[in-house]
Amino acid sequence: MIKDYLKNTWEGLYTVLVGMKITWKHLFVPSVTLQYPEERAKLPERARNRLFVNINDCIGCMQCATACPVNCIDIETVKGAPVDMPGETSKGKKKALWVTKFEIDIAKCCFCQLCVFPCPTECIQMTDVYEYSEWDRDNLIYNYANLTPQEVDIKQLNLEKFQAEKEAKKIEAAKAKAEAAAKKAEEDKAKSEEKPSDDEKKEEK
């Protein structure tokens, strides 16, 4: 009884000293934290942070927008008219579409990197920028398209003009075709009157 009591007392004091020894040692352990804005942790090589789109290389294939699981990429394109083609990517691939709108809502982005892999021109990439907080949520919608609204209108007009021309051509072609067909039909008619058609022969059988 008395022995237990003394033992308890001793253990109480001794274990406190043991604990104090541990904390004393930690007093001299260099800190594991970083003084954040001045010191930064080195990011891993394949860290996934803010998205960046090199719009000059974008061919507007929409594969990234399709791959995005949260639908944060919004792309609109206009077909290039032959008078005003979008040019080539840096690797020499011909672009067929004007990218009139390329918006990424980075607030929605879940940093899954799924948009990066399907891109045929490697124009959408993850960067190492991770500080981009904003006062206004709308500022987090990044617009990468570099066309002004006027330019977009022009492209649209060009396309419409081109399409109208094409349509006109088509109609003409169709007319011509129709005329040709009509001619042919008349000729055929003339021929068929001379001899019965195959169908009629089959029926006769």
Question: Which of 30, 44, 69, 92 touches another protein (CB under 8 A)?
Answer: 30
Instruction: State yes or no: residue 87 binds another protein (CB under 8 A).
Output: no
Q: What residues form DSSP beta bridges with 73?
A: 104
CA pair distance 178, 105, nearest whole angstrom:
51
The yes or no reply on residue 11 touching another protein (CB under 8 A) is no
Q: Which stretch binds another protein (CB under 8 A): 20-28, 44-52, 122-130, 180-188?
A: 20-28
CB of 15 to another protein, least distance (A): 9
Q: Work out how close the CB of 16 gets to another protein at its nearest, in angstroms, rounded to a whole number.
A: 7
Give the contacts of 73 (CB within 8 A, at least 6 positions apart): 64, 65, 102, 103, 104, 115
DSSP 30-41: PP-S--TTTS-P
**Count of chain residues binding another protein (CB under 8 A):** 19
Could you say which residues in the range 146-205 bind another protein, by CB under 8 A?
A: none
Secondary structure of residue 124 in the 3-state scheme: strand
The least distance separating another protein from the CB of residue 25, rounded to whole angstroms, comes to: 9
Report the distance separating Cα 78 and Cα 149, nearest Å.
13
Q: Rule CB under 8 A: is residue 19 a binding residue for another protein?
A: yes
Smallest gap from residue 35 Cβ to another protein (A)? 6
Determine if residue 111 is left, alpha or beta; phi over 0 gives left, psi from -120 to 50 gives alpha, anything else beta.
left
**Binding site residues, another protein, CB under 8 A:** 8-9, 12-13, 16, 19-20, 22-24, 26-33, 35
